[in-house]
Amino acid sequence: MKDFRQRVSNYKNLELKMKKKIVILPGDGIGKEVTAEGKKVLEVIAEIFGHEFSFEEGLIGHEAINATGNSLPEETLSKLKNCDAILFGAVGHPKYDNDPTLKVRPEQGLLKMRKELGLYANLRPIKLFDELLSASSIKPEILKGSNILFFRELTGDVYFGEKGRKDEGATAFDLMIYQRYEIERIAHKAFKAAQTRKKKVTSVDKANVLESSRLWRETVQQVGKQYPDIQLEHLFVDTAAMKLIQNPRSFDVVLTGNLFGDILTDEASQIAGSMGMLASASIGDSVGLYEPIHGSAHDITGKGIANPLASILSVALMLDISFGMKKESEVIIKAVEQTLKEGFRTADIADERTLSNKILKTAEMGNKVAKQLRDKLALDSTVLQTASYNASIS
């Protein structure tokens, strides 16, 4: 009996202190600058909670093309297949945007990675920090209280359908294609998430025009029957685009395809005040990938002024979703909130009321959040006690 108790308690200790291997893919542009701050926060969390995080880096995007000729080298891919989670920065370079004839492009690396790792569900939470109500171009009274979770399908649609040219290049096509199982698996994820939230799913399609959308709607309706506790609403994508800024509070979980999701989540980022604040998780068959929704932002690259909060909030998503570390995730969000409450801003979220000595550079913002975490946790020892409690009952 004593032996058994001993083993249980050893097991609990093991559970408390987790060992995780994280691959960091800084990618292009501001990707390097923001993932460095995400890593900083991971290191603080490991130190405070006693976890062991090891880090490896990989090449992707324009950087990888420069070094190897390939936007997602085999070496990177094999690292990704042998880790517990991925922290990703961004890919892209203006050189490719302005020359559509180039055959090798940074974005191909990102798309290949999504496909190869089976990352079919892209979660984009649109969470508005009250302190940033005035940073948005939408009226505060419309925005206040908005909280939307997007489920964007990520490995199908026009992104991966057959594409090509005919008529000696004068005609081009990208096939919009969906299979039932692809819709079913992400629909289940969206309905399950809604059960833990306000119990509403809005499925977005263009079923009045597109056959693939009719399959989408039919499939979502069928899956929805298994979740009688969830209110299911269908919107056409044009209407959804309008309603998002007309009445963002009417949304809870939004479920949509790859292309519509790409467009609607950029639009919805305005509900959160700035693209610089939005984190995302891509999950599916095995490992999870976490990244800001903003891109490589070459206009500000190297200036050290990019907002690292989306990367830091992506780390919070990683801890919660991939590692089940709810408390660790929560304290990061609290630390970000507190940093904003104290008036600190990066340039993109500053406004006329921001004091000039509170406008921080990228690394300074990372340091503020890290310090906030240390101070908060040092003062509030109950946080750690709760953390052990949660780990031991789960």
Q: Which residues bind Mg ion (CB under 5 A)?
A: 262
Distance of closest approach, residue 370 Cβ to ligand IPM, in angstroms: 27
- List CB contacts of 81: < 8 A, sequence separation 6 or more: 117, 286, 287
Q: Are residues 376 and 331 in contact, defined by beta-carbon separation less than 8 angstroms?
A: yes
Rounded Cα distance between 16 and 316, Å, is 17
Among Mg ion, ligand IPM, none, the one that 47 touches (CB under a kind-dependent 5 to 8 A) is none
Among ligand IPM, Mg ion, none, the one that 110 touches (CB under a kind-dependent 5 to 8 A) is ligand IPM
Q: Active-site residue among 96, 159, 178, 227?
A: 159
Indicate whether 252 belongs to the interface with ligand IPM (CB under 6 A): no
Among ligand IPM, Mg ion, none, the one that 332 touches (CB under a kind-dependent 5 to 8 A) is none
φ/ψ region of 304 (left if φ > 0, alpha if ψ in -120 to 50, else beta) reads left
- List CB contacts of 253: < 8 A, sequence separation 6 or more: 148, 149, 150, 151, 190, 191, 193, 194, 197, 200, 201, 202
Indicate whether 309 belongs to the interface with ligand IPM (CB under 6 A): no
11 is catalytic: no
Distance of closest approach, residue 261 Cβ to Mg ion, in angstroms: 9
Among ligand IPM, Mg ion, none, the one that 38 touches (CB under a kind-dependent 5 to 8 A) is none
Among ligand IPM, Mg ion, none, the one that 233 touches (CB under a kind-dependent 5 to 8 A) is none
167 is catalytic: no
Among ligand IPM, Mg ion, none, the one that 182 touches (CB under a kind-dependent 5 to 8 A) is none
Indicate whether 320 belongs to the interface with ligand IPM (CB under 6 A): no
Instruction: Identify each DSSP E strand in 39-117 by its residue range.
Output: 52-57, 85-90
Distance of closest approach, residue 290 Cβ to ligand IPM, in angstroms: 12
- List CB contacts of 230: < 8 A, sequence separation 6 or more: 191, 194, 195, 199, 200, 201, 224
Rounded Cα distance between 201 and 74, Å, is 38
Each residue 99-128 as x (binds ligand IPM by CB under 6 A) or -, in order, gives: --------x--x------------------
* Measured torsion, CA atoms of residues 312, 148, 159, 91, in degrees rounded to the nearest 10: -20
Distance of closest approach, residue 295 Cβ to Mg ion, in angstroms: 7
Looking at beta carbons, which residue is closest to ligand IPM?
107
Nearer to Mg ion, 33 or 262 (CB): 262
- The one-letter amino acid code at 143 reads L
206 is catalytic: yes
Q: Active-site residue among 32, 39, 206, 327?
A: 206
* Measured torsion, CA atoms of residues 100, 103, 107, 112, in degrees rounded to the nearest 10: 150
Q: What is the DSSP string of 237-274?
A: HHHHHHHHHH-GGG-SEEEE-HHHHHHHHHHHGGGGS-
262 is catalytic: yes
- Tell me how far apart the terminal alpha carbons of the chain are, to the nearest angstrom: 22
Q: Active-site residue among 198, 199, 200, 266?
A: 266
Site of interaction with ligand IPM (CB under 6 A):
92, 107, 110, 262
Catalytic residue positions?
159, 206, 238, 262, 266
